[in-house]
Structure formats: structure tokens, C-alpha cells
Amino acid sequence: MIDKLVIVESPAKANTIKKFLGGNSKVVASMGHIRDLPKSKIGVDIEHNFEPEYINIRGKSTLINQLKKDAADSENVYLATDPDREGEAIAWHLAYVLGLDPKNALRVTFNEITKNAVKNGIANPRHIDLNLTDAQQARRVMDRIVGYKISPVLWRKVGKGLSAGRVQSVAVRLIVEREEEIQNFVPEEYWNILLTASDFPTSTKFEAKFLGKSGKKIELHTKEEVDKVLSELEGAKYIVKEVKRGEKKRSPAPPFTTSTMQQEASRKLNFAIKKTMQVAQTLYEGVNIPKHGHTGLITYMRTDSTRISEEARSVAKTIITAKYGEQYYENRYYKTKGDAQDAHEAIRPAHIELSPEDVKDSLTPDQYKLYRLVYNRFIASQMANAVYDTLQVNIDANDYNFRANGQTLKFPGFMALYVESEDNSKEEEFTQIPPLNEGEEVRKEDLKGKQSFTEPPPRYTEASLVKALEERGIGRPSTYAPTITTILARNYIEKDKKNLVPTELGKAVNKYLVTNFPDIIDYEFTAKIEEEFDKVAEGKENWRKIMQEFYGPFAESLKKADEESERVKVEDEVTDVPCDKCGRMMVIKNGRFGKFLACPGYPECKNAKPLNEYAKNPCPVCGGKVVVRKSKAGKKYYICENNTGVGLGCDYISWNAPQVGEKWDPSSVKTIEAKPAAKKTTTKKATAKNTTTKKSTAKKTTKKK
């Protein structure tokens, strides 16, 4: 007989917990959800109060039978799935499958997988929180209804294979509207006048900017206005009118929430949001560390709280004072936002005594980078302010006013360890200013006008999109990664370096949804629904009532859109590449293997060919164009388009983009596992081989999904 059966979600988490539980205990993994709504139909009985029709997930019957057997052989069954709404729902489904009463089942949660946390959790089980499961169920049911009801309308009115979603469609709308702002933006001209001056004793140069005249600010919009000021400054003396010395403090950022970790990992590590969450999951569930065994390294990574425990605060103090000194420590408490779910701590190291360097050899490069980011952010959050000495110098010349700003770092504080970055941020400009006194004359070295133009708002990156969604109250930390993954996969948006750009398909779908389902993708409505789900989680609202209030107006919009809306044509992007067979300009299409060029004359002309991405510089061997391709592992490589096979044409192929004047070494690229594009006159055998490779790749892709 098993004394304790502990069911978690993943094998890695199970391995970590096993070492903490002595005696006759068994820890097994459910491998995520074991029951869900069916994929073949909507799976929600709308006529009977939105009753979900759950089924056991295909392929999990063997696992379920084993779990039932283990539960029957156990004195106590502990449902230890993840400590969020999704984890609560999985525990609820496990209780159903195992025949346990949800009101009496033993539910345990671990915010961090450490010995104390695990033992305390097992010693103090609670019951399944049915309010949390209802909140998750409400989201699942509403998202299923929206997706399964709107998508068929999109197929008929826009194109096959399309989908809509309560959060994903709003995210696309944000990106499309930002693109429209950029396209409609009209730059406005403005000018400034820059004074380069120096003091007479040391000839140290510094820069000051034009402010106005006689203490009043003046904006310069044309060159004529600038020339007028410059002419009136000819022969003027530049006198220091005022010197202001001060002190400026900069505070550290709070420890990570899910969204701030996603944003910072995107900016500092260039991680996609999905990748950040995948790596964070492995750090939470645990890795093998010599002398420590399987060890969870960070606290739970789905949270919007900035709270940290007193124990963690105490350990941070010890580390900071030992490494940097008492003056670098400051006991800080961070206020969590009013709408945040404060069930968990912020994301922090689970074993603060284990520094990034201590565990580096046990981690993959990506794990190390993210752990170091989480660790440094947490430690810095308990450090003292950085302190700057500031200097502001006002200079007058013929009643015209100039100002120079300078600052020097007096005490680094938290900046000795970590500084938060910002998306598209522009740092205030400072210059080194020599010691100056009021009434002192400075030498004019140069005086010139500088023309500038206002700039459109920047495109969203993954980081700034997450920030925008969070600020608007749309979605929750756990939804951001799958939302961005979905709209990329649906080809509603695409990445241009780090920027998110809507495709023509995305614009068309967004236009249709905004026109026919304005409430569903309304920012305020979507945020209000999230607030309603939160009330369900708190036991203040009934989820079926929310569904009833939602469904009536939604059904009317659905019927009207299906019967009255017109079909939308998605315009293909026309290229400057002529069709080899009929001369029409080819267009860009999307297929199951990505983008390709196709003749717009289809079906009369069925010509199609690959859409190549080219490197900026030519081939360093023959001067031809260099094509960007991907290896079997998905890594980019560069190959001359004249490279038609081993020993045929140009041999150039490289992992790195070609550089002007580069001396290429053929021996440096022996490890590239990819074949150059076959010649049009390939043999039947070669074609068959390529077909097999494509099928294999497609199979792998399907399996990955």
C-alpha cells in the first residue's frame, strides 16, 4: 500500500519532489490535462446552461488507468498540479477521473519546489477551490464558443482555415491599428539650435540647447526662424546666468511578474515570449545540480504579484551586505497592482544561495541566461537607490536662453548589479560640463541649427505588445505566450526582425471582425470579461450567468454577420518578379511550408517557385546573390544562388552573412546539414528524395504541434 500518492503535471517536477518525500511515497505526472472539450465539435451544450461536454484526451487512456490503479493502492492522494487556475482545473478533472470528491480531495500547491515548501504543502492540504475551477471553466467555455462560432463565418466570408479568438483577435487589432497609425502619420518639421561652448580656463567643450528668449520658451519650426535667431546672435557674448546643482535618485525595478519577465527577456535576451515561458518552466520544475540533486531554481512563473516572502528578503540582505556592503542594502516592499491576483510571490530564485555562476555548468545556455536575469532582478530589487550629482547651467546671449544638463554617478546602488531596459526608450541626453560659475563668460565654439521631424509611433514588439495587453487588462499572464504564437501561426502577423507587422490577411480578418463583431474585439469589453472571470474566482459571480448575458447579443451578431455581411477579398502582395511562363507579375502566397511565389493567373497558369530572402551583400566568391535558408535544425545559413550542388557552380555557403572584402574558408562550413536548392533538371531519384524529406519534415512539424 502506498502511503502518499502525489500527482503533479510534469515528470521533471515529479523528479524534484520525489527526493523531498521519504517513506512509502510515490510521485507521478499527469502530463498536463487529462480531460478537455472535444476538438471535433463545440463541446458546449448551450441549450442546457452552457454545460461543458468533457472527454478524456485521446492517447491518455493508459496513463489514466495507471493513475486509477495507483490511487486505489494509496492511503492518501495529493493533487499537486500547478498553483494557478489552469492547475486547479487539472486537479478538478483528476478528482473526477479518480472518483474523488472535489470537496474533500487533498489539494496541495507549491509556489517554489524546495524541501520546506513541499513538506509544508503536504502537511497542510486544502480542498479544491471550486471558484478557481469555475473561473477557468468560464474562460474555456467562452473562448470555445467564440472560436467555434465565428471561425466558420470567417471561412465563408474571408477564407478557409481562419480562426477568431476572444484575446487573439484583440491582439491583432492592436497591431493593425498601430500599423494604420504609422501609415497615416504625417511628419512635422521642427528645429533646434545647438551651442557648442567651452570654458576659458580649461577649454573643456560642452553642448547646450536653445530654449527661447527672455525666459519664454520658443518653438522653431522652419529654417527661416532658425536663421533669424542665428543672425541676432552674431557677435554675442555667452554668459552663465545660473548654475543649479542637485541630486537625483533612481530606484530599482520590482522583482519580476510574468509579463515583466517576458518583456525584459525579449529586450535583454532577444527571447520570444513562448521561449521565455518554456525555459522558465524548466527552471521551476527543476534541473540536476551536483550535490543538490534535482532542484527547482525559480518560484512559480505565472504570477502578477510583486510580493516576496520575509525569508527571501532576509537571504537577499545577507547576500547583498556580504558582497557589496551595508550601504547597498535597502529593505523594500513593492505594492501589487489593485487588479493583480496576489496568490503567489513574484518570480524569484527558489534557492537564493545558488548564484547563477554556482549552477551555470548544470544549465543550458538559455536556462543560464534567464536564471541570471531573474536572480539579478530579484537581488537588485532589495538594493539601495543609485544616486547622481546633477548640474544644470543656463546661459544667456542677447536675451536668448540656452541650457546644458549634466550628471555624474555618485553612488551606483542597485545599478552595480542590474538596470532595467525599456522598449523604444530614449534616454535623456546629458553632457560633461566643466566647473562653471554664475556671471562667467564661455567661449562659443560652434552654433548651428538642427532640423528634425516628428516620428510615428513604433511598431509593436512582443515585449511592447505584452505591455499594451496588460495595461488594457486584456488576457492574463498565462495567455500572452499562446496568443502571440497563435496569431503568428495563423499568418495574421509576421515578424520583421523584432517588430510585429500585420499581413494583408490579418488586416482583412481584423476589418471583418471590427465591422461585424465590434463587441467581441472591443478593448473595454475584453477587459471587462477578464474582471468578471476574476469575480468568479473570488466567489462573487456565477460563471453561467456571465455566459447567459454574453451569449444573447453574441448570437444576434453572429446571425447578422452570416446573413448580411459581404465576402472580403484578401489582396495578394504583388512582387516585381515576372512569371517565367506568362509574364504576369507574381504574387506572394502562403502554403503549409511557408511563403512562395505564385502566378496570379491560376488556374490558367500554375507556375510557382520559392520566395527567396537575400543577404545584403553579394557572394564574396563569385559576386552573385546570396540566399538565406534554414538548416534542418532551423538555424539560418547563407548560400550563393549559383551553388547548385557539390562541385557544381559556386561553392559559397556559410553560417554568417557575407561581408564586403570577406575571405571565405570552405572548411568552416562542413557542419551545415542542409542541401542547396536542386537544379530544375533534377533526376527522378533526386526529386523523390526531396519529396521524402518534405514529407518527413511535415510529419515532424505536425508532431511538434
Type of residue numbered 374: V
Cβ neighbour number for residue 386 with a 10 Å cutoff: 19
Give the pLDDT band of residue 50 (cuts 50, 70, 90): very high
pLDDT of 18 above 80: yes
What is the per-residue pLDDT for 503?
Answer: 92
pLDDT of 669 above 70: no
Type of residue numbered 531: E
pLDDT over 70 for what percent of the chain?
90
Residue 436 in contact with residue 240, Cβ under 8 Å?
yes
What is the per-residue pLDDT for 687?
Answer: 37
Which SS3 state, helix, strand or coil, does residue 349 take?
Answer: strand
Give the pLDDT band of residue 68 (cuts 50, 70, 90): very high
CA dist., res. 539 & res. 468, Å (int) = 28
pLDDT in tens, 91-142: 999 999 999 998 899 999 988 988 889 999 999 999 999 999 999 999 999 9
**Grid cell of 443 as nine digits:** 567661449
pLDDT over 90 for what percent of the chain?
70
340 burial level (CB within 10 Å; 0-12, 13-18, 19+) = middle
Residue 484 in contact with residue 273, Cβ under 8 Å?
yes
Q: What is the pTM of this model?
A: 0.81
Strands (E), 62-218: 74-79, 106-107, 189-199, 205-213, 216-217
**Grid cell of 104 as nine digits:** 474533500
What is the per-residue pLDDT for 668?
Answer: 61
Give the pLDDT band of residue 688 (cuts 50, 70, 90): very low
pLDDT in tens, 427-453: 556 678 999 999 999 999 999 999 999
Who contacts 363 (Cβ-Cβ below 8 Å, separation ≥6)? Answer: 287, 371
pLDDT of 704 above 80: no
CA dist., res. 547 & res. 138, Å (int) = 8
What is the per-residue pLDDT for 12?
Answer: 86
Mean pLDDT of 659-671: 69
pLDDT in tens, 494-523: 998 899 999 999 999 999 999 999 988 999
What is the per-residue pLDDT for 648?
Answer: 64
Residue 299 in contact with residue 81, Cβ under 8 Å?
no
Active-site positions read: 300
What is the per-residue pLDDT for 592?
Answer: 64
403 burial level (CB within 10 Å; 0-12, 13-18, 19+) = middle
Name the nearest CA neighbour of 2 among 68, 92, 60, 77.
Answer: 77
Q: Chain-wide mean pLDDT for the chain?
A: 89
State the helix-helix crossing angle for 273-285 and 477-489, rounded to 10 degrees.
130
Residue 272 in contact with residue 465, Cβ under 8 Å?
no
**Grid cell of 193 as nine digits:** 539650435
Cβ neighbour number for residue 674 with a 10 Å cutoff: 13
pLDDT of 342 above 90: no
What is the per-residue pLDDT for 569?
Answer: 82
pLDDT in tens, 223-260: 999 999 999 999 999 999 999 999 999 999 999 999 99
pLDDT in tens, 465-495: 999 999 999 988 888 999 999 999 888 999 9
CA dist., res. 154 & res. 141, Å (int) = 20
pLDDT of 172 above 50: yes
Mean pLDDT of 199-221: 96
pLDDT in tens, 535-568: 999 999 999 999 999 999 999 999 999 999 988 8
What is the per-residue pLDDT for 246?
Answer: 95
DSSP character for 566? P
pLDDT in tens, 581-625: 999 999 988 776 667 899 998 889 999 988 888 888 999 888 888
Who contacts 416 (Cβ-Cβ below 8 Å, separation ≥6)? Answer: 324, 328, 383
pLDDT in tens, 358-410: 999 999 999 999 999 999 999 999 999 999 999 999 999 999 999 999 999 99
CA dist., res. 257 & res. 345, Å (int) = 9
DSSP character for 601? T
Who contacts 84 (Cβ-Cβ below 8 Å, separation ≥6)? Answer: 300, 302, 343, 344, 478
Question: How close are the terminal C-alpha atoms of the chain, in Å?
Answer: 39
What is the per-residue pLDDT for 641?
Answer: 84
